[in-house]
Structure 1
């Protein structure tokens, strides 16, 4: 049995409180990509499976993100599930100003021209069906059109403000 929460230490909701609470929530790590004049992509820990029929996923993206202008207009996006060996890739796509699609990134143009990353645990190309305003972000809902789950392996996880692997 766990201890009851200490309501005397409760704080008023704020961005800092939300960040502190979600540092306690382990999340899988994905990279979202899209094709524009040049490819764009970002690391996301907000990826969710929404429905199996039709096959829908969702993720959040900040409207101040350098990727947002392309994601805002993209008809298709790539969703890449990262493995525990891809911490550096996750960090590259999370860093502002990084050369995300430079020589050190294994990628190719996939279905619908979407950038598809190599060596990932699994990937999907999805058609965007909705962009829902949510504060300083947009929640993108997209329908899976193609993909490959064959990469396998253990997932990369984000917890306590850092990328990590699952323990045995």
Structure 2
């Protein structure tokens, strides 16, 4: 019997949080780079929106996407009742916009945010690399969140900028 080759110092056992804990989920997903989007909707008291890193392409036929939103979020009442939403992919030049839409209590649609009313009355942000207007198809309960599934109706993928990413708890961009 031969001994295994020496591969260097032994790795220390990882520090693992308790199974099923929200801390474990957060710790793992901090290591997952995600694109940054802002979701908007027109609510009874005006435009609403929030920063999301949970945007996912679901289906090509029909064209469906999904995103998650906490039921305690200030934008949830608008999204809960909206028939249509706006989905905006942010560029690396829009870190301040991402932070504004992520901040609780912020006047998200006040200056310096530039926006206009788009199709179906959806608030559309100006200067984003890409935007979509979608019809909400389902809101699926998922713990303290809802998974919103929406069908793409129209949009524009030709705006300026490189993608904004969220990684390790901060906004970043792709290396050159």
Name the counterpart of 1:128: 136
Are 2:51 and 1:43 aligned?
yes
SS at match of 2:94: helix
Distance in 2, Cα, partners of 1:116 & 1:77: 9
Q: Give the 3-state SS of the residue equivalent to 1:69 in structure 2.
A: helix
1:57 aligns with 2:95: no
Instruction: Decide which moves more: 148-157 or 18-27.
Output: 148-157
Contact preservation (8 Å) 2:128, 2:161: no
Q: How many residues align?
A: 164
Change (3 A) 1:123 1:58: same
In the alignment, which residue of structure 2 is the partner of 1:164?
172
Unaligned runs of 5+ in 1: none
- In the TM superposition, residue 34 of structure 1 has moved relative to its aligned partner by 0.1
SS at match of 1:60: strand
CA distance in 1, matches of 2:13, 2:81: 45
Deviates more, 1:11-20 or 1:115-124: 11-20
Distance 1:16-1:121 versus aligned 2 partners, 3 A rule: same
Normalized against structure 1, the TM-score is what?
0.94
Q: Structure 2 unaligned segments of length 5 or more: list them.
A: 1-10
Quick check: which has more Rg, 1 or 2?
Answer: 2
Q: Is the 8 A contact 2:93 2:161 kept in 1?
A: no
